[in-house]
Amino acid sequence: SDLQKQEERGELLQPLIFVLLVLCSILLYFKVSLMDPGFVKPEEEVKEGEDKGQSVVIPQIPGDIKLRRCGYCLVKQPMRAKHCQLCQHCVRRYDHHCPWLENCVGERNHPLFIVYLSMQLVVLLWGGHVAWSGLYFEQSREWLQHNIFLLVSFLLILIFTIVVLLLLVSHLYLISCNTTTWEFMSHHRISYLRHSELENPFDQGIILNLWRFFC
């Protein structure tokens, strides 16, 4: 049959890989959106020894900066944590609240969020290539009627590809600097950054920053 001939020629391998990538992307979406991003629980009070450990790791932050209690959920916030009013929780190493995921991106799911964006980018680039290869251009109304769906699909894929690419590049840049979107956007309002001698006291070099984030 034609299906067996296509299988023998290896023509079914690429569609199968594409479908698997789409399924992996969907699974990653649900995993990142449903998992705990690093909520600070009331019983997880920061101990004095942990505070000292932080001051050893980050000596550039003045010692007179005290960890404060959240005005909303009343937990003692670890450094780099922030309260999300949409999730109604404080999140460790808070990055941002993602409306696509309906969840915060924080300490626990941030690496998976980067993997998800990378997978999405691969799927979009592949889909864009397929859509482009199916287009043949003619200046006629009949051509437009037969190819309008494919053309609109390609334009939508192109827009989403640009958005995902910019988002992924910006996140990788912030990760390489060991900072978060919240810290980058609100540097002047965060006490441990505003009073620090260095612009970014958490930066320990690109290689070490990437290693600690992903590993």
Catalytic residue among 98, 104, 177, 215: 98
For residue 60 the two structure tokens come to 């550039």
Burial class (CB in 10 A: 0-12, 13-18, 19+), 181: middle
Cβ atoms of residues 131 and 150 within 8 Å: yes
Is 98 catalytic? The answer is: yes
Active site residues: 98
